[in-house]
């Protein structure tokens, strides 16, 4: 029997907002919430805790599940709640610090952040530089230069 040890990380805090922000940071670093006995969360106690794991294989391209600018995840089940939050975070949402509650049901509002890639920004700047601005307003003819 071969045992594969994977890199894992425990996320814990007594503050629900700090817990969700730490979870968000772990997801950015490549860790994932897993529905396993080792990864089962404890969210109903004072100390909120979950173990996240680095996947053995790289994440495959996934279709975005959410398309709005703001979503609210709400669930009584701790595992289902974290898996839904993980899906939203992988779609580019971030935790709204104003709306995180861990009483029943657990609730977290996530907001879509607008990210512009550096390549797109460079293309926009170069496009503005290359296009010439018209010397006269549209519909008007420029005045001829008078010689003195």
Q: Could you report the per-residue pLDDT of 82-97, keeping only the tens digit for each?
A: 999 999 999 889 999 9
Q: Indicate whether 136 belongs to any domain.
A: no
Q: pLDDT band at 3, cuts 50/70/90?
A: low
Q: Indicate whether 143 belongs to any domain.
A: no
Q: Which residue has the higher pLDDT, 13 or 58?
A: 13
The 10 Å CB-count burial string (b at 16+, else e) for 1-33 is eeeeeeeeeebeeeebbebbbbbbebbeeebeb
Give me the percent of the chain exceeding a pLDDT of 70.
70
Give me the percent of the chain exceeding a pLDDT of 90.
53
Q: Indicate whether 50 belongs to any domain.
A: yes
Hey, what's the torsion of the CAs at 64, 118, 72, 54, to 10 degrees?
70
* Overall number of domains in the chain: 1
Q: Indicate whether 120 belongs to any domain.
A: yes
Neighbours of 94 (CB within 10 A): 15
Q: pLDDT band at 72, cuts 50/70/90?
A: very high
CA-based end-to-end distance of the chain:
98
The residue range of the domain holding 33 is 8-57+67-130
């Amino acid at each position: 029997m071969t045992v594969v040890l994977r890199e894992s990380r425990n996320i814990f805090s007594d503050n629900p907002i700090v817990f969700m922000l730490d979870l968000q940071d772990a997801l950015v670093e490549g860790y994932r919430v897993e529905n396993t006995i080792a990864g089962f969360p404890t969210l109903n106690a004072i100390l909120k805790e979950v173990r996240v794991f680095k996947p053995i294989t790289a994440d495959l391209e996934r279709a975005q599940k959410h398309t709005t600018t703001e979503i609210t995840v709400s669930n009584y089940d701790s595992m289902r709640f974290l898996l839904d939050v993980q899906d939203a975070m992988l779609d580019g949402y971030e935790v709204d610090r104003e709306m995180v509650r861990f009483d029943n049901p657990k609730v977290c509002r996530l907001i879509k952040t607008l990210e512009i890639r550096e390549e797109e920004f460079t293309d926009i700047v170069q496009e503005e530089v290359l296009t010439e601005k018209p010397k006269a307003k549209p519909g008007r003819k420029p005045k001829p230069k008078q010689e003195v």
